[in-house]
Structures are given as structure tokens and as C-alpha cells.
A and B are shown apart, each in its own frame.
Chain A
Amino acid sequence: MVRFLLSKLLYLVPTFLGITIVAFSFVRILPGDPVLLMAGERGVSPERHAELSAQLGFDKPIVMQYFDFLGRLLQGDLGNSLVTKRPVLDEFLALFPATLELGLCAILIATLIGVPVGVLAAIKRGSWFDQVSMTSALVGFSMPIFWWGLLLIIFFSGFLGWTPVSGRISLMYYFPEGTGFMLIDSLMSGQDGAFASAVSHLILPSIVLATIPLAVIARQTRSAMLEVMGEDYVRTARAKGMPSRRVIGVHALRNAMIPVVTTIGLQIGVLIAGAILTETIFSWPGIGKWMIDSISRRDYPVVQSGLLLIAGLVMLVNLLVDLTYGLINPRIRAS
């Protein structure tokens, strides 16, 4: 297992270096003067330009600039935002819990509904349940989620008036930020109605973000189950007279879960792409909205480092998925 872990880690090094090169080159291929873009100033005198250039290290050869960039990165220095002047890493860490909370809720909804639906659809293959659920899954998979979010707002916020339109919690409540997770913080604050308010803000964005992963997980679970249920050991278990529930629950489901776990893990990229849209629609103060705002404000240090942080995160989660995969399927480890 240690060898497996090490080989996986070693494999990540070139990819990570590649990601840093992409982020590094990003500012340099933007149209315009990279010095002014990164300093957020324009129309400066030649002296000021030289000063900024030296300050940002743009006067060195490009290879040196890259190694400086890499060195600062390893020390946790990701530059400062042009707009807020705060370190990018601080901003990221402050906003990340909001996205994490949203993402976790979404993946929870997607898994808790998707897996049972997929299993049931596989068991009752060809039934009306199978047809309805798989048709719905295909619709969910094809859903433009930015539009889906607007529809839910029209119906639940506009027509029924059940949920708020934007934000994480009603402005009525104020409490110091503890964990950064609004559900936990509001519960700990002990204020009446704070938790309910946090839930009502979270529910629609979570459903929107869960839609595509839910569809993918349901479809994947169904096909994995169907494949496993045709295997010899399942037939043997049935032939031994084992109750159907046990055959499905123990023999089939456990083996079918291997590809499903991977699918769930691989949804992280989908979730972040979805978070950009979901957070924009619901004015959810997370990293997706932060990236979009930074792109439109031309806050390039944030875009550069944000890109790096998000790609690093995706890479890390994919590594975890690989490791889980190795853990539940010993055959992978050996190869």
C-alpha cells in the first residue's frame, strides 16, 4: 500500500508542475503589459514601470521568473488581490468553506438519492420505475443548471415564497464566524431561527448543484449493478438459495460500488464548474463567484492563483479517489 501511495504521489509531480506552468503563463499571454496588469495600474511613467517591473520580478529572465514564482508558491505566497489588497490565499481560505458546504450538501444529496435509485432501477430492469428514473436521469444530465436554478427561484421563491433568493443567511442574524460552515455556525450561535434560515438559503443551491452529479451517479450505479448481477458469483449465491436481499446487498452492491465510488469522486471537477454557475445565480459567496468576479474585474493575481488552487484541489481529490479505489479493490494495488 505504501508503494502504491508513493507511486501515485510521484505521478502527480509532473502534473502539478504543468499546472503551475499554465498558471504562470496565463498572465504572460494576456493581451497588454503583464507588469501593469499584475500591478493593477495604468498610464505610469517609465520610472514607475521599471520600479514595478523590478518589484514584481518581471525584469529577470523568464525561467528565473518561473522559479521565483514556484519558490513563493511553496512558501504559501500567492500574491495579493488588486482590488482588496489582501493575500489571495487568505481570501481563498475565507471563501472556501462556503463552497465546501454547498459542494458537500450537493454530493450528499446526489449520493443518497442517486445510489438507491440506480440500484432499484437495476433490480427492476425494464419496469416503469427503471424507465421513469433513467429518463429523468438523462434529463438531469442534459440540464443547463444556470437555467434550472432560475426556474427553481421563479417557482419556490417567486411563486410559493418559500425560500430566499440569494445569500447564505438572513441579514437579521449576526454571529462571529467560527467554522465557516453556516449550518454549524448558525446552530452554535443559539439564535432562534438562525439555523432554519441557513437551511432555507442552502437548499435551492444544493439541489441545483446536485442535479448533474445525481444523474451521473444514478446512471453509473444502474449500469454497474447490471454488470455485477450478471457475474457468476452472483448466480452462484442465488443458486445456493441465498435470500435475494442478501445477494443484492452483500454480493452485488459491494462490487458494484467500486466504479460508483470513482464516479462520485470524479464529480469534484463537475461540482466546481457547477459552483461557478450556481454561486453566480444565488449570489453565494464562495470561490466560484469569487473567480467569476475576479475575471470580470481583471483581478489577475486572483485569477492566476485561484486557478492554481482549484486545479491543485481537484488533483488532490482525484488522488484520494485513487487511493480509496486501491483500498476497496486490492487488485488495483497489485498492478
Chain B
Amino acid sequence: MSDTVQLSSSAIRRQMLAEFWFYFRQNRGAVAGLVIFVLLVLTAILAPVLAPHDPTTQYRDAFLLPPVWQEGGRAEFLLGTDAVGRDMLSRLIFGAQYSLFIGIVVVAIALVGGVIIGLIAGFFGGWVDSVIMRVMDVILAFPSLLLALVLVAVLGPGLTNAMIAIAIVYQPHFARLTRAAVMGEMRREYVTAARVAGAGNLRLMFKTILPNCLGPLIVQATLSFSSAVLDSAALGFLGMGAQPPAPEWGTMLAEAREFILRAWWVVTLPGLAILVSVLAINMMGDGLRDALDPKLKRS
């Protein structure tokens, strides 16, 4: 008996996955985004193997060398070097580690925090809900980058604090989404049934209701991932994020600013890396939304 139950539940899961993939695949951009994203992850994991040089080693005989295809470029520095003679390609490759790490940490903190807060607000309702939602409104009243900047000013500049600040700023979006989804699910009969069967509050919240609210949360997580990459790069650019000599793309751009009219590659390449990563994640997000949003599925 238990065998058949297990078999059918895994079969259902497989069918759901197949259905998801069917809708996701229809968005060609999303598939392209997924491919780029996987390449990005591989680049980050294999960075020590892929990078031809150490990202912080300064070659004293090679300041601001142009890429290899330009006059004066050298074959050992494919994409040229920066103002203190560090290999651009290696720094860009190691930068992928930073961006992905930032995205994962920010989304994880914001998601966990927001889901718990949203679950509590939606599940208990009443004054608990009012208080929590007013606090979320306050956080949302501040422009995200400004609040993150000020938080970093309080905590001190640096990558860890930048990530915490961005996560705090993003967390209300998850809380609101979760709350709305929970409030919708609470009225359903299966929740009442579980309650009557004797399920406790925690079980109802996390095992009964939460799995049914995941769709919009996954889409929001993807969007937050790309925004986190953008915002942390912006903080790095403003000198408040990762600190030099870290090969973080935004920080690299900040260091390159004074050379914009002399050495295009030190400015163009880190920004291009940010753009391509963010774009890939956003394209994936579009596909996820199409595949997970039942309203769009019908049309």
C-alpha cells in the first residue's frame, strides 16, 4: 500500500516537473538565460582553473595593457590589464564568484526572513498582521539603494554588511507576497480539514500552507537575485560594498572610473559582465513567471 502511495507521489512530481519544463521551454529567452546562468555558475566554480592569472597579482611591466586584438596587447593578457597591472580576464572570472555569492546570500536571508514574517502576518491576522505590515510599509517607503547605503554607513562598508543591508531592504517584498498568498490559501477547505484533523499551527503554516504559496515566491526570488547583483555592484561602485582589491565587478568599475577616456576595456568589461549576468537571470525569471503563474498559463 505504502509502495503505491510513494510511486504515485513521485509520478505526480515528475509530471509537474514535465509540465513546468513544457511551459518554461516555450520562452526561448528563458532557456537562453538558463544556459548563460549555468555557464556563469560553472565559471564561478571553476574560477581557479579557468583564470590564467591570480586576480590580485600586479604585473609591474603591464599597466593598462589593451586587449590582445588591439595594438600593444599581449597574448598572456587576453582582455588586457588594469591600472595596476592585474589581468582583466582573471578578475572578471573571479568576479562571477562574488556576484553569485552575493545573490545567493541576499536572496536566502530575504526569503527566509520574509517568508517567516509573511506567514505569521497572514496566518494570525488581526493586530499582529497590522503591526508587521506597517513596519514593512516603513521599510518600503525608503528607496532601496538609499536605505542600503545608510545601513552600510551604520554597519561599516564591506561586502558582508552590504549583503545584510540589501537583504533587509528586499525582505518586505517576500513578506508581502507570502502574506497575500497565505491569506488566499487560509480560506481553502484543505486548510480547514488539516486543522480539524488536529494539525498544530506550525504544521499548518509550514507543511500545509507554505508549499502552496511557492510559485510567486520563486519568481520574486529570481527577480531579487538579479536586483541583488545590481545593487551590490552599485554599492561597490559607490565605495560602500566589497573593498579593493576584491575583484567584484562594481568595485572594479569604481577603480576604473578615472580611466574612462583612456582605457575603454577597464570600464566596459566589468559593466558588461554585470549586464549579461543580470539579463540572464531576468530572462530566466520571465520564463519562470510564465511557467508558474496559472493566470498566464491559460492565455
Contact = CB atoms under 8 A, between A and B. Distances in A.
Given A138-B29, A150-B253, A151-B268, A310 B275 contact: no
Contact of B275 (A26, A144, A154): A144
Contact of A22 (B138, B149, B268, B275): B138
A147 B230 contact: no
Kindly state the interface size class of chain B when it binds its partner: 35 or more
Contacts of A273: 143-146
A315 interface: yes
Interface SS, A side:
helix
A150 B141 contact: no
A209 to B, nearest CB: 13
B150 A303 contact: yes
Kindly state the interface size class of chain A when it binds its partner: 35 or more
Contacts of A318: 141
Nearest to A155: B264
Contacts of A303: 150, 153
Given A18-B138, A26-B154, A276 B275 contact: no
A29 B253 contact: no
A183 interface: no
B267 A269 contact: no
B188 interface: no
Given A30-B154, A153-B260, A154-B260, A276 B233 contact: no
Contact of A310 (B143, B233, B260, B274): B143
Nearest to B153: A295
Contacts of A58: none
A292 B238 contact: yes
Contacts of B150: 26, 295, 303, 307
A275 to B, nearest CB: 9
Nearest to A287: B146
Contact of B137 (A15, A148, A295): A15
A19 interface: yes
B239 interface: yes
Given A18-B134, A154-B260, A307-B142, A138 B275 contact: no
Interface in A245-278: 269-270, 272-273, 276-277
Contacts of A146: 233-234, 237, 250, 253
A314 B138 contact: no
A143 B227 CA distance: 10
A45 B209 CA distance: 60
For the complex of A and B, the 8 pairs showing the least CB-CB separation, nearest first, are A147-B271, A18-B138, A273-B145, A142-B278, A142-B279, A273-B143, A272-B143, A158-B261
